[in-house]
Amino acid sequence: MTMAKSKKAEFLRHPVQPFVAEAGLSGDALLERMERISFQGRNLASARRVWERMLADEVTIFFGMAGALSAGGLRLIVADLITARALDCVVSTGANLYHDLHETRGRHHYLGSPRENDSALQRAHIDRVYDTYADEEEFADNDEWIAAFALGLERRPHTSRELLAKLGEHLWRETGADGILTAAYRAGVPVFCPAIADSSIGMGLSQARHRDATAGMVDVIGDIIESANVVLGHPRTASIVLGGGTPKNFINQASVEAEYYDPAVSGHSYALQIVTDVPHFGGASGSSLHEAESWGKVAGDAEKVSVQADATLALPLLVTALKTSAAGLLEARRAPQFAPAARVMTMNGKRVSAERFEAPV
């Protein structure tokens, strides 16, 4: 066989297997079949395998979620992932956490239409997130609730991690209801919100500040130091990101900042992203995982996959399959143990400073 024919045979080893639909097909079997189709279907199936390998390895798994996915119905999937310890640190937009708080307090989002008359919605005090509605008067009540919570805190700056751990505890004690914040509190999973001012949580904190100038202070620079110290304490990390925005970059910059203080850090060992943005406009949200290598955000030999899809399509399929195929991995996993509600967080019993970078000695 000539070299050209040998190379051709190497390329043509695995034929596409047309998907055959069957009644009662499980999520696990569905994604298994999708491993042999093409495009984003195969990428989604590959994402399941990459996540399984994260769970089998001793890595700290950062999980980012952008936008308003809680309003779109995904919050209890994330809460379940937290409880199962399929992830270790959450980095979120404020919107996701606020809409989660809204429903944990017993309120709802409602099925709507993107073609509704928005002036009519405004007159009715209804807010629209694409095809989803919420009661603005209930939001105003949430803001007051958050302000009252903040006024009950010690008068000093809190990292968003400490603030949100205390908020999750307060929410759990008041409601006893499942949600992202309450699950994180109960599982001891830190939640970071580096752009907390850009949300209704920030608005509630500002209303507390209006009443007392010493209230509602959030130390987001401390968040940077803490997240980098988590990496410095355990340099093997993984990244799972839904969407782009601040959460994606915050997770990645933790590795970059950690590497500045410890050259042994080499970026995330695994990376999985589900995004709708594209790279060719230059934004971080759509940037590829290959581009991330140039910054040291992702290791050159990392296992990685990008799924170009709406998270409301991809995540339910992915997690449904994972609950079956990764059940044994989750049971055996030794997840890092945090104490995120303390002023100084600990990870596996060791302090995680929010004041200075603590490289291994």
Residues known to be catalytic: 297
Question: How many Å separate Cα 297 from the centre of its chain?
Answer: 16
Q: Is 331 exposed, middle or buried (0-12, 13-18, 19+ CB in 10 A)?
A: exposed
Nearest-angstrom CA–CA distance, 83 and 98: 19
Pull the structure tokens for residue 269.
Answer: 């060992």
Nearest C-alpha neighbor of 236 from the set 307, 161, 321, 334: 334
Pull the structure tokens for residue 168.
Answer: 């999750």
Nearest-angstrom CA–CA distance, 310 and 323: 20
Question: How many Å separate Cα 189 from the centre of its chain?
Answer: 12
Residues 6+ away with beta carbon under 8 Å from 328: none
Distances (CA, A) of 340 to 155, 166, 308: 19, 9, 33
